[in-house]
Amino acid sequence: MLADPVEKRKKNRKFLKSALTVCLTIDGILALVLLYMLFLHMPYFNIQQVDVTGNRRLSRAEVIEVSEIEDGINLLTVDLSAIAARLKRHPWIRFATVYRRFPGKLIIEIEERAPRAILASDKLYYVDEQAEFFTRLLPGDSVNFPLFTGVTPEQLKANAPEVQELVRMGFTILDLIERTGSEIDSSGIGEIQMNLNRGLCLQTRAGRVLVLGKGDFESKIQRYERLKRFLTQRGEWNNARIINLDFEDRALVRPDKTRLQG
């Protein structure tokens, strides 16, 4: 039986239409590839300017050096995520975002870490708000921060999460003192001593040691203030050297024997 000529022409037209579509698609892709290759070699799209924002401690030159951006590289070939990853490996950079602005600008936005305290072990380390010890202090760096002591290098290496938790507790105490206007003036605290088992002690610049343990700090500070008023009224406050507040409902005071004997 002979095929219907009408049906045959329809099939031929459909085939030609499909073939034409494929050809046009391939031509379009090739045109886009050629256009992209052309852009890659056009100086118009080379990086001409790098803007850095969010830097305070780090200079613009330092940020660009860490980013390892090649001079004059085409903006289309820049790996933004790789640059951001390199930036975040720097100890002072907490977060980094990199993006393009055509025709020839690269923008780097960073968030620097801010020291909240200093941790003294074998060396001095800056500690940020998240209790992360992120870099060693260098000559000339500011030391005007609360000082945490009492942790050996071995403990810092083997028990870093526990040490960080103690530092967070210390931050809680400092915030509580500042918020409540406590008589324990935070500027009068010489150091915060840490012990992995017993918790925290505050050593004031006047030479007193306040044992606070690992929790319930608000009630302990209130107990300290009541104790100070009581001993001051009795004329015995100046003899109080070690004040152990790590109890549920009391405080123990160890006198300064030198003062008592003198």
Evaluate whether the domain defined by 115-261 bears CATH number 3.40.50.11690: yes
Per-residue model confidence (pLDDT) at position 103: 86
Per-residue model confidence (pLDDT) at position 2: 46
**pTM of the complete model beyond 0.95:** no
Per-residue model confidence (pLDDT) at position 161: 96
Q: Which fold has domain 46-112?
A: Ubiquitin-like (UB roll) (3.10.20)
* Angle in degrees, 0-180, between the axes of helices 60-67 and 80-88, rounded to the nearest 10: 120
Query: From CA 194, how far away is CA 187, in angstroms rounded?
Result: 19
Per-residue model confidence (pLDDT) at position 217: 94
SS (H, E, C) the chain: CCCCHHHHHHHHHHHHHHHHHHHHHHHHHHHHHHHHHHHHCCHHHECCEEEEECCCCCCHHHHHHHHCCCCCCEHHHCCHHHHHHHHHCCCCEEEEEEEEECCCEEEEEEEECCEEEEEECCCEEEEECCCCEEEECCCCCCCCCCEEECCCHHHHHHCHHHHHHHHHHHHHHHHHHHHHCCCCCHHHEEEEEEECCCEEEEEECCCCEEEEECCCHHHHHHHHHHHHHHHHHCCCHHHEEEEECCCCCCCEEEECHHHHHC
List all residues 6 or more positions away from 172 whose beta carbon is below 8 Å from its beta carbon: 217
Determine contact, residues 122/153, Cβ cutoff 8 Å.
yes
Determine contact, residues 189/117, Cβ cutoff 8 Å.
no
Residues in the chain: 262
Per-residue model confidence (pLDDT) at position 4: 60
Scan for tokens 């799209």, then name that residue: 45
pLDDT tens for the chain, 262 residues: list them: 445 665 655 555 554 455 445 554 655 555 555 444 544 555 677 899 999 999 999 999 999 999 999 888 888 889 999 999 999 999 999 999 999 998 889 999 999 999 999 999 999 999 999 999 999 999 999 999 999 999 999 999 999 999 999 999 999 999 999 888 777 876 789 999 999 999 999 999 888 999 999 999 999 999 999 999 999 999 988 889 999 999 888 889 988 655 433 3
Per-residue model confidence (pLDDT) at position 35: 45
Q: How many CA atoms are closer than 13 Å to the CA of 17, on its beta-carbon side?
A: 6
Q: How many CA atoms are closer than 13 Å to the CA of 205, on its beta-carbon side?
A: 9
* Amino acid, single-letter form, for residue 237: W
What ranges do the domains of the chain cover?
1-41, 46-112, 115-261
Scan for tokens 């024997």, then name that residue: 257
